[in-house]
């Protein structure tokens, strides 16, 4: 997902990630695109959960939101903002968190924490890529 976000121009990006619901949809597709599997019991049948795009296991009733276990997990900022920051960081990893805070009217600490998650995720992708390439 991150690699493809990076390639979008700003207009396309804003069309795809324009509102909270669209963001959740992308996260859900990303996570469960290859099928649902319950993290608690391994069951593969689900029904719609309480929040948009969340899924609930029909066996153990465990419910998982579209954000859970993604970089937006426990992220306190609105998803649309989160995706914007993700977009900015993907395009320029050295972007300052002061600048982000100012631009999106957030606390610098919030941006710093979130950026840290994104950068870790990017590093992991690079590592995976290297492993694939060396095989
Ligand atoms: Zn389950």
pLDDT for residue 38 is more than 70: yes
Q: In the chain, where are the structural domains located?
A: 2-134
pLDDT for residue 131 is more than 90: no
pLDDT of residue 105: 95
Which residues make up the environment of ion ligand 1, defined by Cβ < 5 Å? 38, 40-41, 43, 57, 59-60, 62
pLDDT for residue 133 is more than 70: no
Distance 73 CA to ligand 1 centre (A): 20
Q: What is the per-residue pLDDT across 45-88, written as a single tens digit (0 to 9) for each?
A: 999 999 999 999 999 999 999 999 999 987 789 999 999 999 99
pLDDT of residue 76: 81
pLDDT of residue 130: 80
CA angle 87, 93, 96 (to 5 degrees): 95
Distance 37 CA to ligand 1 centre (A): 8
Distance 4 CA to ligand 1 centre (A): 31
């Amino acid at each position: 997902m991150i690699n493809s976000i990076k390639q979008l121009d700003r207009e396309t990006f804003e069309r795809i990630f324009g509102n909270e619901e669209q963001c959740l949809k992308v996260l859900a597709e990303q996570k469960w695109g290859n099928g649902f599997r319950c993290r608690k019991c391994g069951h593969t049948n689900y029904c719609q959960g309480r929040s948009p795009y969340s899924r609930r296991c029909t066996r153990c009733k465990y419910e998982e939101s579209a954000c859970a276990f993604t970089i937006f997990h426990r992220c306190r900022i609105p998803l649309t903002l989160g995706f914007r920051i993700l977009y900015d960081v993907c395009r320029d990893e050295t972007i300052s968190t002061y600048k982000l805070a100012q631009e999106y009217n957030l606390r610098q600490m919030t941006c710093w924490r979130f950026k840290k998650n994104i950068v870790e995720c990017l590093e992991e992708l690079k590592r995976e890529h290297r492993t694939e390439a060396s095989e």
